[in-house]
Amino acid sequence: MNITPPAFQAGDTVGVFAPSSWVERDDIEKSKALLESRGFQVFVHPQTYERENQSAGNHLQKSLAFQGLWQRKDIKAIWAAGGGNRCTHLLETINFARLDKTPKILIGFSDVTSLLNAITAHTNITTFHGPVFKNLYKYKQLDHLIDLLGGALTTYPMTKDNVLREGKAEGRLIGGNLSLFQYLPQTLPDDFYKDSILFLEDCNEELSSIDRMLLHLKRLGVLNEINALVFGQFTDILETGTPFGYTLDDIIQEHIGDAQYPVLHNMPFGHGKDIYTFPIGTRASIDTQTNEFTLLDAATAKL
């Protein structure tokens, strides 16, 4: 059974830390000011500004920051400062068994995909695939996100142009960045993927790499266990060297084969201008006949 963290409301405190690459202080301060102007409080953990090569400090510093924020009773939400690289190393240091006793909101995307899905898979706590904190001050869907964190049953914009394969489905949302998510099978519980709605996005990847990553998920059986597949924005796709020739839609069609579930593409999330937030672990429904993509359960619990 899914565990919904307490709803995030005006006056609550968010804790910021950097699980991946280092971030610029100016971006964090601008986003902090914006969130405070909306009535929330922000605590920026000192680790957020650490630097070790491209990383925001070492694995121990990140792990201590994350677990320290989770243990603080005044912190209602934890927000990843940015993406980049090396967040996946945190999975080796986290004591998942202790997290479900004090569920909190966790938000991030891109490199943070591994942490979000691992926490939901091991604890059943809902996590949130949404904007990293450093980008919040230029984020367009802030009202949608605040409503979602407050416990609203939200919907996602969808048109006929988004439909690659017709169908109707229900399932709990899982997924995130393809290049990170494809590493997770065989490291998470086997039933995590079953009857889910899998959403994927990526950026700066070769078409040939996307082809291999989807083939990897297919061969591991993931694409056979899900109830629906949702592709977001694949921005700045590369095709260096000898032209690959196949389009992204060609690749998707090949790997889904004759699957009987709905498939959407070009949905508004990813590394582009739009990133609607998806609560990982929350049940949703898709109906391509009515162009509806809707949450079936609230992602947070109102007190």
Q: In this predicted model, what pLDDT tens digit does every residue of 62-96 receive, in sequence order? A: 999 999 999 999 999 999 999 999 999 999 999 89
Contact in structure between 141 and 18 (CB atoms under 8 Å): no
The alpha carbon dihedral of 231, 128, 155, 42 has a sign of negative
The alpha carbon dihedral of 171, 296, 231, 54 has a sign of negative
Contact in structure between 199 and 175 (CB atoms under 8 Å): yes
Q: Where in the chain is the domain with CATH 3.50.30.60?
A: 160-295
The two beta strands, 105-108 and 127-129, are parallel
Q: Check residue 105 and give its pLDDT.
A: 98
- pTM attached to this predicted model: 0.97
Q: Check residue 98 and give its pLDDT.
A: 85
Contact in structure between 200 and 233 (CB atoms under 8 Å): no
Q: In terms of CATH, what superfamily is 160-295?
A: LD-carboxypeptidase A C-terminal domain-like (3.50.30.60)
Cα gap 270→202, rounded to integer Å: 7
Over its length of 303 residues, how does the chain's per-residue pLDDT go in tens digits?
789 999 999 999 999 999 999 999 999 999 999 999 999 999 999 999 999 999 999 999 999 999 999 999 999 999 999 999 999 999 999 989 889 889 999 999 999 999 999 999 999 999 999 999 999 999 999 999 999 999 999 999 999 999 999 999 999 999 999 999 999 987 888 889 999 999 999 999 999 999 999 999 999 999 999 999 999 999 999 989 899 999 999 999 999 999 999 999 999 999 999 999 999 999 999 999 999 999 999 999 987
Provide the CATH topology of domain 13-149.
Answer: Rossmann fold (3.40.50)
Kindly list the distances between the CA atom of residue 282 and the CA atoms of 129, 135, 196, 215, 235, in Å, as whole numbers in the listed order: 11, 24, 10, 26, 26
Q: Where in the chain is the domain with CATH 3.40.50.10740?
A: 13-149
